[in-house]
Chains A and B, each alone.
Chain A
Amino acid sequence: MISVPVKKVLLGIFDSEKALLTAAKNFREKGIKFFDIYTPYPVHGLDQAMGLAPSRLPQFTFAAGALGLLFSILLQGYVNLISWPMNIGGKPNNAWPAFVPVCFELTVLFGGVLTFLAFLARCKLFPGKRPVVSVSRLTDDRFVMVFVADEKDFKLEEMVSLLKQNGAMEIMENEVPA
């Protein structure tokens, strides 16, 4: 086995959304940075508490959809005007209303599939990946707040007592791949 470089982290485990949200807000007010927070379902309001910017995936979808539209126009134009023009029912070769359905479908297809792939790439999800942190019941009913404990100015005792004050039910030290 190749040894992977690791980071030390401190985990604070909560058992309710309310406690987690309040704690996250308190930590942010104190200016403490999170490594990440892990939840069994998307907790609304946590993005603001963590200070995360909104996702840019929708902009990507727009570009991907535009690419699909462009591709469908070029494909149908090339086929009907350049490669093999055919007289079908005496209609003009560039009878564009007939091309609308395929343009629409390819716009949606490109937009959807490419956004999905971009999502996987951006979140670094792939088959065979190991979860970054594994705490029992993490994907069940536990909310886990994670801090990097490697830095020099990290005061372990202070953080542990802060977590306790904010209602963490369990606190543990762990390692994650750097």
Chain B
Amino acid sequence: MEVSPLREQLIEGNKTFHDITEEICRPVLGKPTKAWWAIFLVAASALGLGVVCIGYQIAVGIGTWGLNRTIGWAFDITNFVFWVGIGHAGTLISAILLLFRQKWRTSINRSAEAMTIFAVMCAGLFPFIHMGRPWLAFFVFPYPNQRGSLWVNFRSPLLWDVFAIGTYFTISLVFWYVGLIPDIASVRDRAKGKIRKFIYGLLSLGWDGSNRTWLRYESLCLVLAGLSTPLVLSVHSVVSFDFATSVIPGWHTTIFPPYFVAGAIFSGFAMVLTLLIITRKALNIEHYITINHLEAMCKVIILTGSMVGLAYGTEFFIAWYSGNEYERFAFINRATGNYAWAYWTMVSCNVIFPQLFWIKAVRRNVPAMFVLSIIVNIGMWFERFVIIMISLSKDFLPSSWANYSPTFIEVGTLIGSFGLFFTCFILFARVLPVVAMAEVKAVLGFGRKSVQGGAHD
């Protein structure tokens, strides 16, 4: 097959199919390294702190939080929205980039999808705690019951959240598992030891790479991508309805759905970047997740970061242009009130610093990317804090204005959610192949003259 000289290789290092299987399966089949144990222990300790804090607040009640009569949502819902947003990059990479036939996605889609699943788990934790009596959490499902039957309120955006997050988690999990089946079969065929053979054997569902199965498999992947594409745009839109359908100045705006979705993809890509920079180094897979992959993600960050910046500007313009004095006050208070430091942290982290990615040298400098990706994550956490907390703190009646600061329990729970996220991710990198081997093999010929496979273009 003729190869355009303009195409750069997706996978570096002139790998053969066998090299790919060897190198990607190695961390799964070998023994964990000391570095793995070190990261695992740090993550597990953070998770331990979270478990203690969650146990305490469930036992004592959510009066252990710093909330008051004015500020009824603060840290907890901030964390919920933050984590849901993180998940979006995974679905974008696996679904939207699949439909757009972006072949570079094959090296990173597996870990990004895993990240989505763990992030949605972290997100789900917060409304669960927020219920105060989480043992009654099943009340959110509509089912015939002995209370009337008393149903859930289908006109409440909080219930839409239940459906949106539930569907998002289920479909992401199915999509991730479907992608894993052929690779689990590769691990099964190389595994030694009875227990491993048994477990990977069960999970691989007897996969043998039959072409009849591959035909249906590719059809299934396209269908799932087609379903996930509107889904990923809908999830954060529905989350934003929690705010947009209320009457609080600063929340009651129609810009929220697109603005939240752009922000979600922005923060999600930053988190993918943070995770992959560590993973590619730790697992020695820099030939698979190359600097070109990282650069492509930086470009998505500039695009979505600038969209978020545009949304911040639009919000201010509309607050002035609407002539609504409450709306106007809410925004002046954001930028100059007693939480102005949070607002300006958000603006500098989300709008100013990511602009450094316009410079090619920064986009291809791994330490710089790592630092910037963390800055974006901090900025996006503050965005949610600013929207939720500042808007609530000064509402219509000056007599009810109040301030808020988190308690130890709330901060501990946030740290615990990071612990849960990283513990899950580290375990994933240990027991499942972090790069989609079958998909990488299919694009191996891309940009190469001679290879066992084809170029598929």
Question: Which A residues have a C-beta under 8 Å from some C-beta of B?
Answer: 15-18, 21, 36-44, 46-47, 50, 52, 54-55, 57-58, 61, 65, 75-76, 79-80, 83-84, 86, 88-89, 91, 95, 98-99, 101-102, 104-106, 108-109, 111-113, 115-116, 119-120, 122-134, 136-141
Q: Are A88 and B155 in contact (CB under 8 A)?
A: yes
Question: Which B residues have a C-beta under 8 Å from some C-beta of A?
Answer: 16-18, 21, 142, 148-155, 157, 159-160, 163-164, 166-167, 170-171, 174-175, 178, 181-182, 185-186, 188-190, 201-203, 205-220, 222-224, 227-228, 230-231, 234, 238, 241, 438-439, 441-442, 452-454, 456
Q: Are B227 and A111 in contact (CB under 8 A)?
A: yes
Question: What 13 additional pairs, Cβ within 8 angstroms, besides A44-B454, A47-B211, A52-B212?
Answer: A16-B453, A38-B208, A47-B215, A75-B142, A83-B149, A99-B154, A101-B163, A105-B166, A108-B167, A109-B170, A116-B224, A138-B208, A139-B21
Q: Are B223 and A88 in contact (CB under 8 A)?
A: no
Report the Cα distance A140→B234, complex, angstroms: 38
Q: Are B238 and A101 in contact (CB under 8 A)?
A: yes
Q: Are A83 and B151 in contact (CB under 8 A)?
A: yes
A53 to chain B, nearest CB (A): 9
A112 to chain B, nearest CB (A): 5
Q: Are B154 and A37 in contact (CB under 8 A)?
A: no
Contact partners of A15 in chain B: CB under 8 A: 452
Which residue of A99, A112, A141 has the most chain B CB atoms within 10 A of its CB atom?
A: A112
Contact partners of A132 in chain B: CB under 8 A: 206, 208, 210
Report the Cα distance A111→B170, complex, angstroms: 12
A140-B21 contact, Cβ under 8 Å, with A42-B214, A58-B219, A102-B163: yes
Option from B21, B205, B216, B453 in Cβ contact (under 8 Å) with A17 = B453
Option from B16, B154, B188 in Cβ contact (under 8 Å) with A80 = B154
Q: Are A40 and B438 in contact (CB under 8 A)?
A: yes
Contact partners of A125 in chain B: CB under 8 A: 181, 205-207, 213
A1 to chain B, nearest CB (A): 18
Q: Are A112 and B171 in contact (CB under 8 A)?
A: yes
Q: Are A42 and B442 in contact (CB under 8 A)?
A: yes
User: What 5 A-B pairs come out closest when comparing CB atoms?
Assistant: A129-B206, A141-B17, A131-B208, A55-B219, A125-B205
Which residue of B178, B241, B453 has the most chain A CB atoms within 10 A of its CB atom?
A: B453
Q: Are B216 and A123 in contact (CB under 8 A)?
A: yes
Q: Are B202 and A127 in contact (CB under 8 A)?
A: yes
Residue on A with the closest CB to B454?
A: A17
Option from A40, A113, A119 in Cβ contact (under 8 Å) with B209 = A40
B454 to chain A, nearest CB (A): 5
Report the Cα distance A101→B190, complex, angstroms: 45
A39-B211 contact, Cβ under 8 Å, with A102-B154, A105-B167: yes
Which residue of B150, B223, B442, B456 has the most chain A CB atoms within 10 A of its CB atom?
A: B223
Contact partners of B214 in chain A: CB under 8 A: 39, 41-43, 46
Residue on B with the closest CB to A126?
A: B205
A119-B154 contact, Cβ under 8 Å, with A39-B209, A47-B215, A138-B208: no
Cβ contacts A to B, 17 pairs, < 8 Å = A21-B454, A44-B454, A55-B219, A58-B219, A83-B149, A101-B238, A104-B234, A105-B164, A105-B231, A108-B231, A109-B170, A112-B175, A113-B174, A115-B224, A122-B216, A132-B206, A140-B17
